[in-house]
Amino acid sequence: MCPASRYTDLESGRISLGCNFACIHCQNWEISQQFAEGTVCGEREIAALIDEARRRGCRNQNWVGGDPIPHIPFWLKVLLWETENTPVFFNTNGFYSTEASSLLRGVVDIYKIDFKYGSDICAEKISGVSGYWKVITRNLKAAKKQGELLIRVLVLPRHLECCLIPIVSFISRELGPETRVNLMDQYSPHWRAAELPELKKRLDPDEWEKAVKIALEAGLRNVTT
Amino acid sequence: MWRLWRPDAVRALEDPKVVSSMPRYIGILKGKLLSKFVISRQVQVEWGSDSSEDELWDIHDASLRKMEKLMRDLDSGRIHPDELGDPPKKSLLHLKARIGESIMRSCRLCERRCGADRLKGELGFCRVGREFRVHSCFDHLGEEPEVVPSFTVYGSRVRPN
């Protein structure tokens, strides 16, 4: 038996750690849903590492988790100590509050937001989150106004009709066909993905071909794969 | 070294599709523009130690408008970065950090709005808690070409018992 199962929440069947989602296919499950605890770090220490990284040629500071949303208060303190001009790349699932959005405004240079689901039912089933669509669409619109936006769409097997179509239609219609979208084919059944029949396998080539066609037919003109 | 692994990353900054979607970011990388947090750190802000969170938000929103005006002036060249002088002791960025800490008393950073008092050590759904735990950080080469190399910090959380 996988020792991780000792830590699962009895009600939902899973828990999440360092993240506000509990994705059943989490790629970073060792960090977000299992044992690794990490080391307590001082803000000055991290700021110094970021400054050094910038000096050796890194292009940005990439805040990730889990998800960086719960870490925002720490990050704001880190920035107070930084001395280099290092753009902030906020690498998020986009499920943050309007308060968080206000704190990020005037701080985040690039909002990299995962647009995962086209339906609240799928969001609930796969990531254990409710009210997804309303929140993600609100935050995407705000991110476009208050910074530069890069959207990642991981195509999930058998979620083309329910998820991909509403996602690309929304982007094209509400954010504009020029919005930069990284359409991703690398879905892989990590963590406990095998518990959902459709997520047991990788995307098949026909489905990927269809996904690209859907994105282009929605009018998107800045798709990278 | 990364140029050998990701030649596409070198070309990306000239790619019209990248340039059109993130012109400001590219301006920063070329040393022409300032990252937003650097500008926020230049906006002087005053608040009282006994201010309520609502009062802090009012000051925040007014200062943010000043920051955005300063950014427009800097980006258009009306103000030169050399004219900025030393950053103030209390800035918009300090105020944001102050409000961020205040929110941790009843956490509503994510839309779960679980209300955990993280400053008292309570752990909400994410179990992130009071202290910044870092799982790892490294120069990430596996992101989009315009993004890499990217110094990536993986925030972590308290392990369950």
Please state the rounded mean pLDDT for residues B26-30.
Answer: 97
Taking the model in full, what pTM does it have?
Answer: 0.94
Nearest-CA distance from B52 to chain A in Å? 15
Please state the rounded mean pLDDT for residues B11-30.
Answer: 96
The residues pairing with A180 across neighbouring beta strands, listed in sequence order, are: A150
Residue of A7, A12, A71 to mutate when probing chain B, most B C-beta within 10 A: A71
Q: Which CB contacts under 8 angstroms, 24+ apart, belong to A136-139? A: A136/A94, A136/A95, A137/A170, A137/A174, A138/A98, A139/A94, A139/A95, A139/A96, A139/A101, A139/A113
Please state the rounded mean pLDDT for residues B69-80.
Answer: 98
Please state the rounded mean pLDDT for residues B67-82.
Answer: 97
Checking phi first, is residue A176 left (phi over 0); if not, alpha (psi -120 to 50) or beta?
Answer: left
Q: Which of residues 36-65 of A touch B (CB under 8 A)?
A: 36-43, 46, 49-50, 53-54, 56-65
Range of the domain at A77: 3-224
pLDDT band at B161 (very low <50, low <70, confident <90, very high): low
- Tokens for B116, please give them: 């955990």
| Mean pLDDT of chain A, nearest integer | 90
Contact assignment for A106 to B160 by CB distance below 8 Å: no
Which pLDDT score is estimated for B2? 86
Q: What proportion of chain B, given as a percentage, has pLDDT over 70?
A: 99
**CATH number of A41's domain:** 3.20.20.70
* Integer-rounded Cα radius of gyration of chain B: 20
A16 pLDDT higher than 90: no
Residue from the list B132, B143, B146 with its beta carbon closest to the beta carbon of A40? B132
Contact assignment for A85 to B28 by CB distance below 8 Å: yes
| Mean pLDDT of chain B, nearest integer | 95
Which pLDDT score is estimated for A3? 30
Which pLDDT score is estimated for A17? 61
- Give the start-to-end residue ranges of the domains of chain B: 2-120
Nearest-CA distance from A91 to chain B in Å? 9
- Tokens for A103, please give them: 């704190």
Q: What proportion of chain A, given as a percentage, has pLDDT over 70?
A: 89
The number of domains in chain A is: 1
Please state the rounded mean pLDDT for residues B46-67.
Answer: 97
Question: Is A110 near chain B, with CB under 8 Å?
Answer: yes
Contact B131, A40 (CB under 8 A): yes
Which pLDDT score is estimated for B107? 98
Contact residues, chain B, for A19 at CB < 8 Å: 126
Contact A58, B150 (CB under 8 A): yes
Which pLDDT score is estimated for A65? 82
What is the SS3 string spanning chain A?
Answer: CCHHHHHCCCCCCCCCCCCCCCCCCCCCHHHHCCCCCCEECCHHHHHHHHHHHHHCCCCEEEEECCCCHHHHHHHHHHHHHCCCCCCEEEEECCCECHHHHHHHCCCCCEEEEECCCCCHHHHHHHHCCCCHHHHHHHHHHHHHHHCEEEEEEECCCCCHHHHHHHHHHHHHHHHCCCCEEEEECCCCCCCCHHHCHHHCCCCCHHHHHHHHHHHHHCCCCCEEC
Using CA coordinates, name the residue in chain A closest to B102.
A73
pLDDT tens digits, A127-176? 999 999 999 999 999 999 999 999 999 999 999 999 999 999 999 999 99
A11 pLDDT higher than 50: no
Parallel, antiparallel or unpaired: strands A39-40 and A110-114: unpaired
Contact assignment for B139 to A71 by CB distance below 8 Å: no
Please state the rounded mean pLDDT for residues A215-225.
Answer: 97
Residue from the list B24, B147, B155 with its beta carbon closest to the beta carbon of A18? B155
- Rounded to whole angstroms, what are the CA distances from B128 to A28, A37, A158, B33, B120? 16, 10, 33, 34, 12
Contact residues, chain A, for B12 at CB < 8 Å: none
B122 pLDDT higher than 80: yes
pLDDT band at A8 (very low <50, low <70, confident <90, very high): very low
Contact assignment for A109 to B36 by CB distance below 8 Å: yes
A4 pLDDT higher than 80: no
Question: Is B90 near chain A, with CB under 8 Å?
Answer: no
Question: Is A136 near chain B, with CB under 8 Å?
Answer: no
Residue of B153, B159, B161 to mutate when probing chain A, most A C-beta within 10 A: B153
Q: Which of residues 47-86 of B touch A (CB under 8 A)?
A: 57, 60-61, 64, 67-68, 71
Sign of the torsion formed by the C-alpha atoms of A78, A80, A84 and A88: positive
Q: How many CB pairs lie under 8 A apart between chains A and B?
A: 249
Residue from the list B64, B143, B159 with its beta carbon closest to the beta carbon of A106? B64
